[in-house]
Copies of this chain bind each other. A is one copy, B any other.
Amino acid sequence: MSTGKLRFGILGAGRIGRVHAETLAFRLPEAEIAAIADVNQEAAHALAARCGIPRVAASAAEIFADGMIDAVLICTSTDTHAGLIAQAAEAGKHIFCEKPVSLSLKKIDESLAAVEKAGVKLQVGFNRRFDSNFIRVRQAVASGEIGTPNLMHIISRDPAPPPLTYLRPSGGLFLDMMIHDFDMARYLLGDEVEEVYTAATVMVDPGFAKEDDFDTAVVVLRFKSGAIGTIDNSRKATFGYDQRVEILGSKGKIASENRYPNQVVVSGEKCVYTDLPLNFFMQRYTESFALELELFVKSVLEDKPTAVTGADSRVPVTMALAARKSHDEHRPVRLSEVE
């Protein structure tokens, strides 16, 4: 940071790695990318060329060892996150890590301990907190604009299911997909969940059942405040990415709608229609990906707390484990049962 810029090493040149690299390279003057590493060297070189990254490192270790690098961006597969966080922390690097940190609470705890010991900053990639819609909803709750929240509904549906081969390492619906919504539930209400009840099933593709997974689920949340929430996930919404939230408070209601590629309405001979909503997270959450990095850079440069802490990365995993247990045991489950 001697240059006043935060120098990054990027681990992982896949889809999300590319999104973050472009943000750092083209939109954040306060950041620069010093090096990138990926087991797929070809991908690393391609991304380096596109974003003007001066060096492709042979390994993560090489990046950790580079004294000129201030922070790392961990965009590798989930099973490697916890280990890389621990190593990065030991190397004194600030860390931005994609969610989830791990599917295992024990490993998360070890990572967070390493981070705490090293005194580095950690931010986890729950990007939806930085979407302008959800920011506005959060403001309404925090400011009392809708009074005390009583009921919340989160709708979160993908346009199409991922390949079944993707499912097993992902941890399944609760740990891979609904984990974003568990984070949103806590963030939007500023409250903690005590108990969950799960109704999950397979409606989209029987292949999910073979993987001991689900493609359709509703989870009921009981918050400490007494508020009740639901999360609705489906792996298939034919019309596009369906990302909405609604909260009923003692003084009013706030609801966020999907985002569309344009604001054009056609009145035809048979119906009045618009184009479909933005199709997937890359389009819908573009701005949030940029904003989360911008805030991470700022929190490091100004030595302030990160916007999504290590603790924030742990609770959604607890919720996901409880949600799965609720399905398996066909009863409501308290989060304390899975600690």
Q: Are A265 and B275 in contact (CB under 8 A)?
A: no
Q: Is A77 among interface residues, defined by CB-CB distance under 8 A? A: no
Q: What residue of chain B has the Cβ atom nearest to residue A248's Cβ?
A: B234
A248-B157, A264-B256 known; A201 vs B218 contact (CB < 8 Å): no
A269 in contact with B238 given A255-B264, A263-B256 (CB within 8 Å): yes
The reply to whether the CB of A166 lies closer than 8 angstroms to some CB of chain B is no
Pick the contact of A268: B153, B252, B262 (CB < 8 A): B252
Copies of the polypeptide in the assembly: 4
**Beta-carbon contact of B150 and A204 below 8 Å:** yes
**B-facing mask of A268-305, CB < 8 A → 1, else 0?**
11111111110000000000000000000000000000
Contact of A266 among B145, B240, B265 (CB under 8 A): B145
Are B199 and A222 within 8 A (Cβ)? yes
Bound together, the chains give a CA A331 to CA B333 distance in angstroms of: 10
Task: Give the residue of B236, B238, B259, B264 whose beta carbon is less than 8 angstroms from that of A254.
Answer: B264
- In the complex with contacts A157-B248, A271-B275, A242-B237 CB distance below 8 A: no
18 contacts between A and B (CB under 8 A): A26-B27, A136-B264, A140-B266, A150-B203, A150-B204, A151-B232, A197-B220, A203-B250, A220-B230, A238-B267, A242-B253, A252-B269, A253-B267, A254-B265, A255-B264, A255-B267, A267-B276, A273-B273
Can you add 12 more A-B contacts, CB < 8 Å, to A239-B268, A252-B266, A252-B269? Answer: A137-B264, A153-B230, A220-B220, A238-B252, A253-B266, A254-B267, A256-B263, A256-B264, A258-B263, A267-B276, A267-B277, A273-B274
Could you tell me which A residues sit within 8 Å of B by CB distance?
A: 26-27, 29, 50, 52, 132-133, 135-137, 140, 145-148, 150-151, 153, 157, 197, 199, 201-204, 216-218, 220, 222, 226-228, 230, 232, 234, 236-240, 242, 248, 250-259, 261-277, 330-332
